[in-house]
């Protein structure tokens, strides 16, 4: 009996491999998966940020500039830049927030210090303004910025972008846009003359913790990472902004956070949420990766006896960690701060509507993939192949055995059992391979078995799943491919949602990309019903379904 589908609350904890070489191959795979899941494979072109300061707050020891950044054309990310007095250069921190009611403007009075567990647990609070100001007082430049839909970054409503299968089909997600925003924040910080460009850190709690370890995994510029109350094997994040197409198939937040190894990282956890096991479970699992580098001391964890929080104890642990690793100094206690968060609002410049921005995101993906297909060199094909494999969440077998005889594999997969509501429920395709991916994986398994049996050239005959399998593994028993498209409309989102859904599949080019990659040997696409256009490929296209005799005749003609 197959295991039930995984969801965000399914316990999942990775095991580090035995060697550093094996881990680095795995870490590379995870980085690429994150980028693909975020709709950032390959990375989009970076456009001018046009930083716009809309107001300034002068305190006795720090200056705060309220800034808007155009992270992609027509979209403005808003936040506050906290600066120490002086010329610098200073280390800089990207500061993300989680789902606090007021986002980066959250100011809650702290609670009395809680005794260690099993004593009475304290309430969870967060003063995110004090956090950024305290870092600036201790010699850091800090950019604290909004999640989508919070405060002044209001061109999208939070939890609405990437909130449907049709958007995930294109690889468009809230998590993806927020990850891109974080990458652009690092660009902004590095552009400032008073910032030490080689000393960048990142921190955030809850959903901000998710943003922290994702950014740290994909952007090498982050040198120190402090994710707070989010690195867990028990809950992976319950919002659109923490789930993305295919992100966690076969992996989890602990493994993603471990990609940052061997650089310094602090897991801050508490007894009153899903991070309660960090000292006994998640921390030791991640430290095994650090041990592969001989740097176990670079991963630390602390736990405090509170509910979900970014309380002053958690904040002061973070200050001390950043001070040690980015300034070579001892952290300080947090001092009182008199500052009305209303002073930190940003007057956002005019931008595009959410509908226009969504259309732009899809168009950028389509144009990027079309350009790669047109270029069609070895590097472009590998980018496309990896993206297609990520969309399908398949494992690519390696060819084994001596290549010799020719053989034929005829696949009769039948219609896919894909109910759209089930594919969306609990972010199913963030954690699980879709039915289409399962069909393709079965074909790949059969191809691998043929290779192991000594088959050198394998003719594949079947439907869409055969085309996709050949595309992601063109060198596994290469041979002719015959595909009955069944009138599949390769340029129509509805066709994929009804018959061939995989997250990000349209974003990587869909069947047009698959046909290009499968075209390294003779390719026959029949029963197209004139709904498939040949694009930069040389193959035989037939509008009607061919008979077995006609297929045999074609196979004979191609050798």
- Asked if residue 14 belongs to a domain, the reply is no
Over the stretch 84-96, which tens digit does the pLDDT of each residue have? 999 999 999 999 9
Q: What is the mean pLDDT of the chain?
A: 95
Over the stretch 204-240, which tens digit does the pLDDT of each residue have? 999 999 999 999 999 999 999 999 999 999 999 999 9
For residue 540, pLDDT over 60 is answered with: yes
**What value does the mean pLDDT take over residues 262-280?**
98
Where is the domain boundary, 339, 354, 369? 354
CB atoms near residue 21 (< 10 Å): 10
- Asked if residue 36 belongs to a domain, the reply is yes
Residue 1 pLDDT level (bands cut at 50, 70, 90)? very low
Same-domain pairing of 396 and 268: no
- Asked if residue 450 belongs to a domain, the reply is yes
Same-domain pairing of 130 and 276: yes
Same-domain pairing of 285 and 321: yes
Same-domain pairing of 293 and 435: no
Q: What is the pLDDT of residue 559?
A: 79
Where is the domain boundary, 354, 369, 387? 354
Distance CA 474, CA 468 (A): 10
Range of the domain at 508: 377-558
Over the stretch 512-536, which tens digit does the pLDDT of each residue have? 999 999 999 999 999 999 999 888 8
Same-domain pairing of 397 and 516: yes
Where is the domain boundary, 354, 388, 407? 354
- Asked if residue 359 belongs to a domain, the reply is no
**3-class DSSP state of 158:** coil
Q: What is the pLDDT of residue 419?
A: 82
Distance CA 200, CA 143 (A): 11
Same-domain pairing of 342 and 487: no
- Asked if residue 141 belongs to a domain, the reply is yes
Point out the least confidently predicted range of 162-171, 235-244, 314-323, 532-541. Answer: 532-541
Same-domain pairing of 390 and 423: yes
Same-domain pairing of 88 and 227: yes
Q: What is the pLDDT of residue 400?
A: 67
Same-domain pairing of 203 and 57: yes
Q: Classify residue 191 as exposed, middle or buried by CB count within 10 Å of its CB (0-12, 13-18, 19+).
A: exposed
- Overall domain count for the chain: 2
CB atoms near residue 540 (< 10 Å): 15
Those residues whose C-beta lies under 8 Å from the C-beta of residue 423, and which sit 6 or more positions away, are: 165, 429, 434, 501
Q: What is the pLDDT of residue 247?
A: 97
- Asked if residue 4 belongs to a domain, the reply is no
Same-domain pairing of 116 and 167: yes
- Asked if residue 366 belongs to a domain, the reply is no
Over the stretch 27-76, which tens digit does the pLDDT of each residue have? 999 999 999 999 999 999 999 999 999 999 999 999 999 999 999 999 99
Same-domain pairing of 443 and 322: no
- Asked if residue 266 belongs to a domain, the reply is yes
Residues pairing with 540 in the sheet: 524
CATH code at position 216? 3.40.50.1820
Same-domain pairing of 387 and 335: no
């Amino acid at each position: 009996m197959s295991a039930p589908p995984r969801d965000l609350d399914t316990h999942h904890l990775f095991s580090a491999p035995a060697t550093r070489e094996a881990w680095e191959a795995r870490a590379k795979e995870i980085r690429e998966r994150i980028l693909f899941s975020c709709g950032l494979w390959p990375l989009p072109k970076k456009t001018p940020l046009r930083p716009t300061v809309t107001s300034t707050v002068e305190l006795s020891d720090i200056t705060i500039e309220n800034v808007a950044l155009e992270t992609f054309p027509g979209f403005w990310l808003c936040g506050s830049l906290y600066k120490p007095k002086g010329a610098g250069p200073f280390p800089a921190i990207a500061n993300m927030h989680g789902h606090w009611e007021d986002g980066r403007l959250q100011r809650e009075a702290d609670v009395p210090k809680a005794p260690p567990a099993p004593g009475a647990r304290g309430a969870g609070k967060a003063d995110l303004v004090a956090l950024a100001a305290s870092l600036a007082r201790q010699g850091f430049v800090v950019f604290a910025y909004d999640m989508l839909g919070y405060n002044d970054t209001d061109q999208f409503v939070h939890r609405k972008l990437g909130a449907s299968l049709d958007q995930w089909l294109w690889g468009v997600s809230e998590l993806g846009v927020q990850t891109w925003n974080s990458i652009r924040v690092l660009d902004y910080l590095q552009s400032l003359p008073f910032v030490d460009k080689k000393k960048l850190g990142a921190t955030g709690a809850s959903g901000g913790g998710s943003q922290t370890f994702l950014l740290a995994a994909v952007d090498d510029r982050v040198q120190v990472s402090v994710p707070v109350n989010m690195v867990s094997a028990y809950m992976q994040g319950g919002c659109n902004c923490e789930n993305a197409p295919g992100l966690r198939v076969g992996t989890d937040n602990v493994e993603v956070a471990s990609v940052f190894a061997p650089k310094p990282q602090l897991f801050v956890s508490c007894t009153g949420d899903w991070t309660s096991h960090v000292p006994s479970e998640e921390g030791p699992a991640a430290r095994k990766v650090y041990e592969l580098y001989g740097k176990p001391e670079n991963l630390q964890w602390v736990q405090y006896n509170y509910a979900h929080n970014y309380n002053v104890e958690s904040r002061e642990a973070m200050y001390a960690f950043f001070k040690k690793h980015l300034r070579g100094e001892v952290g300080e206690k947090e001092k009182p701060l008199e500052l009305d968060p209303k002073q930190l609002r940003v007057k956002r410049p005019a931008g595009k509507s959410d509908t226009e921005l969504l259309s732009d995101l899809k168009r950028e993906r389509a144009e990027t993939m079309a350009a790669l297909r047109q270029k069609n060199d070895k590097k472009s094909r590998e980018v496309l192949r990896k993206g297609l494999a990520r969309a399908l969440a398949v494992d690519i077998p390696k060819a084994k055995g001596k290549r010799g005889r020719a053989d034929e594999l005829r696949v009769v997969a039948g219609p896919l059992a894909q109910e759209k509501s089930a594919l969306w429920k609990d972010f199913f395709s963030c954690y699980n391979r879709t039915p289409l991916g399962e069909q393709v994986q079965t074909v790949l398994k059969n191809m691998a078995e043929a290779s192991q049996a000594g088959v050198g050239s394998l003719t594949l005959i079947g439907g869409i799943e055969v085309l996709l399998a050949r595309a992601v593994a063109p060198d596994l028993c290469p041979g002719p491919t015959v595909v009955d498209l069944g009138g599949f409309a390769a340029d129509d989102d509805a066709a994929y949602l009804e018959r061939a859904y995989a997250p990000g599949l349209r974003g990587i080019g869909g069947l047009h990309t698959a046909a290009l990659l499968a075209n390294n040997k003779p390719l026959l696409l029949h029963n197209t019903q004139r709904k498939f256009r040949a694009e930069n490929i040389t193959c035989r296209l037939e509008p009607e379904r061919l008979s077995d005799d006609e297929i045999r005749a074609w196979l004979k003609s191609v050798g």
